[in-house]
């Protein structure tokens, strides 16, 4: 750098040519990964952003109550996600008190979580997950997506009461957005007959896939319906 001209420093964007010119050092080509990207112009930033989104969208972890069995609706959602998103790795973990397995998934840098809440319109389970993510500092580099899914029976409790409780998601989303965590809400009517439930689950899977892929901060705190 000491012997480079001002012109070289300003316009010599090809560093290898400068190294050869002034240091007589020949470059050696090394095969890199497909996501290796050089940012030169502003438009390159959008391409780089797209590549990063693609990389961190390849795994989704479905989190549910540890007391539930394999017939739990959360596992049904997991299976539909696997079927609809065959290019994405979908796993599930229990949100128990120790949370060791879930913590390991976080340490392995999974950036997408679906928290299943059945027959409840509060965010107790989702808050536990959010606390774990905040403590892990996973979201320092890239935004983490959390979709809080609520399976609710509107025949037991009036929809207005449930929606009122669920609207607290806006407050939670603003708080965790400061930690680069994107929180969305998804509402699915439950129970339903098998055919209607499968259709709702498929629609929910499509919504989840879109939220994970796009990572749209403009939609945080919104309650979507499948």
- Which CATH number characterizes residue 90's domain? 3.40.50.360
Residues 6 or more apart whose CB falls under 8 angstroms from that of 208 comprise 60, 81, 114, 147, 149, 186
**Token pair of 175, please?**
């708080």
CA distance 184 to 200: 17
Backbone angles phi, psi at 225, to 5 degrees: -125, 130
Q: Which residue range is the domain that position 26 belongs to?
A: 6-50
Are residue 74 and residue 167 in the same domain, yes or no?
yes
- What is the spatial order of strands in the sheet that 181-189 belongs to? 89-94, 59-64, 112-118, 144-152, 181-189, 223-225
101 and 42 in a single domain? The answer is: no
**Residues 137, 205 within the same domain:** yes
Sole residue written with tokens 């339903």: 192
Looking at every residue in the chain, the average pLDDT score rounds to: 85
pLDDT range class, residue 156, cuts 50, 70, 90: low
- 62, β-bridge pairs: 92, 114
pLDDT at 37: 74
Q: Residue 39's pLDDT is what? A: 81
Which of 32-36, 48-52, 94-98, 141-145 has the largest mean confidence?
141-145
Whether residue 109 is found in the same domain as residue 46: no
Query: 101 with 157, same domain?
Result: yes
Q: Is 26 left (phi over 0), alpha (psi -120 to 50) or beta?
A: beta
Q: For residue range 92-109, what is the model confidence (pLDDT) as tens digits?
A: 888 875 567 888 999 899
pLDDT the model gives residue 198: 93
Q: What is the pLDDT of residue 6?
A: 77
Based on the structure, what is the number of domains in the chain? 2
**140: Cβ contacts below 8 Å, ≥ 6 apart:** 180
The rounded Cα 127 to chain-centroid distance in angstroms is 16
Across residues 67-96, what is the average pLDDT?
A: 85
| DSSP character string of 86-103 | TTSEEEEEE--SS-HHHH
What are the tens digits of pLDDT across the range 157-189? Answer: 666 666 677 778 999 999 999 999 999 999 998
CA distance linking residue 139 with residue 176, whole number of Å = 10
Q: What pLDDT shows up at residue 13?
A: 62
d(CA 226, CA 186): 7
Lookup: tokens for 224: 């979507």
> Is the pLDDT assigned to residue 5 strictly greater than 90?
no
């Amino acid at each position: 750098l000491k012997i480079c001209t001002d012109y070289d420093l300003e316009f010599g964007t090809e560093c290898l040519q400068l190294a050869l010119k002034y240091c007589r050092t020949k470059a050696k080509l090394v095969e890199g990964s497909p996501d290796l990207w050089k940012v030169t112009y502003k438009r390159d930033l959008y391409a780089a952003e797209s590549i990063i989104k693609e990389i961190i969208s390849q795994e989704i972890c479905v989190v549910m109550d540890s007391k539930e069995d394999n017939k739990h609706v959360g596992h049904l959602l997991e299976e539909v996600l696997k079927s609809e998103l065959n290019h994405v790795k979908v796993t599930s973990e229990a949100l128990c008190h120790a949370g060791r397995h879930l913590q390991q998934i976080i340490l392995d840098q999974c950036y997408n979580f679906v928290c299943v809440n059945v027959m409840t319109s509060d965010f107790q389970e989702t808050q536990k997950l959010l606390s774990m993510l905040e403590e892990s500092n996973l979201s320092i580099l890239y935004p983490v997506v959390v979709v809080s899914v609520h399976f609710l029976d509107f025949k037991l409790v009036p929809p207005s009461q449930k929606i009122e409780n669920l609207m607290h998601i806006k407050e939670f989303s603003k708080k965790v957005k400061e930690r680069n965590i994107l929180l969305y809400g998804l509402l699915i009517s439950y129970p339903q007959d098998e055919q209607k439930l499968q259709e709702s689950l498929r629609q929910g899977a499509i919504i989840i896939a879109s939220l994970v892929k796009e990572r749209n901060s403009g939609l945080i705190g919104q309650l979507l319906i499948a």
